A and B are shown apart, each in its own frame.
Chain A
C-alpha cells in the first residue's frame, strides 16, 4: 500500500501545468461560445468545468490505485470498452453525422476516447509480456489486431480523425517496446507508398497540370502498377527462396525492399479505387488549402488568418474577430488553438505550447524513470497520445497538418477527451509516485 509520505512525490509541476491548460481552455471555450451580436454565451464553458471536476475525481482515484492493477485487468477493460464502441455503432443516434456517443441522462460520453487509454494499457501489458519475443514479425499481429479492431469500429461511426490517432500510438509503443526497426520501417514505407502515389495522381488530375513527368503519367494506368507490383513480388519471392537455401544477407537486401515496394504499389491501387473522390481531395486540400477556398480549404484558411492576425500580443480576450464573428469554424473544439492565438497572440500561443511541452517532457521523463517495463510503456503510450493530439490539432490550426478534427488535449471542449486525458495524468503521477515502491 501507499505510504503516507509518498503523497509528497506527487509531480506537482505536472498537475499545475495541466490545471493551467484547462483554465486556458475554459476561458477560450467561454470566448468561443460568446456571441457578440446577440450578447449571449452558449454556456459550454460551464459544462467543461463540470467535466473537469469529474475528471479531477477520476484522476485522484487513478493516482491511488496501483497502476499494475490496470495491467492485470487490461483485457477486461478493453473488452468492455470495445462493447461500448460496438453499442454506439449499432444503437447510437447520429450527432453531426457521427454515431460516436452514448447518452446517459444529460451526459454523453464518447467510448472512442476511452478506447485510446484502454489500447495504451493493453498494448503496454502485451509488450511487457512479450518483451523477449517482440523482435519477431509474428508478434506484431496481436498488437495490430488490438489496434485495428477499434479503428474499424470507429471508422464505422464514422470518425476518421479519432481512428487516425490509434496508428501513431501503436507504432510509437511498438518502437519503444522493442519491435524490430526493419519491420516498422517496412510497414511505414508500404503505407507511405500506398498513400503518396494516389495523392500525387489525384493532385495532378485536379489541378489539371500539363504533365511534363513521364514517370507520373505511367502511374495513371492502374493496370501497369499492378504489373510492376507483380514483377516486384516475383523478384522478392525469388530472392526469398535463394535466401532460404543460401543464407546470405545480400538476398535479404533484395527481397525486403522489393516486397515493400510491391505491397506499397498494390495498396496504392486499392486506395485509388476505393477511396472516394472527396476523401482524396480532402487530403490534398491539406497540402494546398487554396485548392478549395470555399470548401474544405476554408477552415484552414480562416484558421491561419485567425492565428496570423493575432500578432504578438493578440487582439484581446473576447476581441478576436475571426472567432467572435464566426469566421473560424469549430472554434471551441477543433480550432480552439486558433482562438488562443488570435486573442492572446504569440505570447499566448507560446505559453500554451510550452505548457503542453512540459506535460509531454514530463511524460517522457516518467517513462524513463519508471521502475518497471509496464509503467514505462504505459507512460510512453500516454505521452504519445498527448503528443499526437497536440501535433495534429495545433498543426491543423497553423496549416501544417490535415484537417482531421481532433481535440487539443485539456483545451478543446469535450468531456470524454478531458476526462480520459486527466485519467492519463493520474496514471502518470501514479507511475512517478511508485518509482521507489517495491
Chain B
C-alpha cells in the first residue's frame, strides 16, 4: 500500500513541477473566468441577479382614429381609455409588468422624439401615424408603425419590436377569425343580422384588447427549476463551473498519460522488475490522478469563492458532488489512456476526445442567454460525464440540496465505475507478462 502512495506522490511531484500542467490545471480556468468576469461584470447570483438592460422608449401617439367610429355600435373594445389602436399600444407599453424592460415617455413631436434617440437620450422612438387605426381596420389592413432606434443597441429594441409585433399579430388573428366566424355563421344559419355581427365583433375585439398583454412577454433570468428557493446565478459563476469541469476532465487523462510516458522512457519496465506488484503500480497511477484532481478542485473552488465571490452552494453537497466528479474524471483518464499506444497518439486523441466531450457537456452554459434552449442541448450534454457534472454544479449554485443532485452524483459514480473497470482491465491485460 505504501508503494501505491510512493508512486502517486512521485507522479504528483512531476505534474506540479511542470509549468504547462500547472497552467492548464489552474491558470487557464481562472484566466478564462476572469476574462468573462471583466466582460460581463463580476455578478453573483444573490447580490446582482441576471438582468436585461432597461430601454428608454419614447412614444409619439398621433393616432386620431377611433374604434367607436369605425366599428358598428358595441363592437369596439370595452376599455374606456383605449379608443384607438394607438391607445391600446400606449396602454400595453405602460403595463407595469414591462417596467423591468422599458421606461415609457410620451411626446407629441415625432422630430423631437427622433432627435432624442439621435442624442442617445432614448433607445427607441415609436411613432404612430394619425391614420393608424383607420388603416389597420381597412379591408387591406396595412398600417405602418415607425420604430426609430439607436443602432448601437440590440437587445432592448428587439424586445420592443417583439412586444408590438405580438400585439398586432393578436389583433390580426382576431380580425381573420372574426371574418371567418361571420362567414361560417351566415352559411350555417342562412342569414345573419346586424346585432349578431356586432356581438361577434365585440367579443373578438374585447379578447384582443388591452387586458391580455401582460401574458405576451415573459422575461426571466436563467435559473434552475428547483422550486421556490431557487437563486439566480451570475454568468461568471457558470463560466467558472464550466471551465473547472472542462479542465478537471482534461487533467484526468493528461495525468494518467504518465503510464505511456513511463513506458516510452523505460521507467515502467524498470518498475516491473522491482518487487512491486503490477496492481500496485497501476493503482499508484490512478491515485496520482485522483489526488491531482482533488488539489485542482480545491484550488479552483476556493479561488472561485474568494476571487469571484461565487457561492457554490450546500458545502456537503458540493464536496460529495466534487468527489464523484473527481472519481469520474480520473477513471475517464484511465479509460482513455488504456486505448492509446503512445504518448504522441495520446496527445492527438486526447485533445479531440476531451475537447469534444467537454464542449458537449458545457452546451447548457453556451445557451445560457436563450429563454427556451432547444431540448437536444440538454440531451447531448447529459450524454457525457461532464454534462452531469455541470448540471450538478449549476443546480447547487441555484440553491438545490444534496437530495436534488443525488442523481448527478450516482450517475457520475456509475460513469466512474464503467470507465475504471474497462480501463483497468485493459491495462492489466496489456501489462500481464507478455
> Does A pair with B?
no
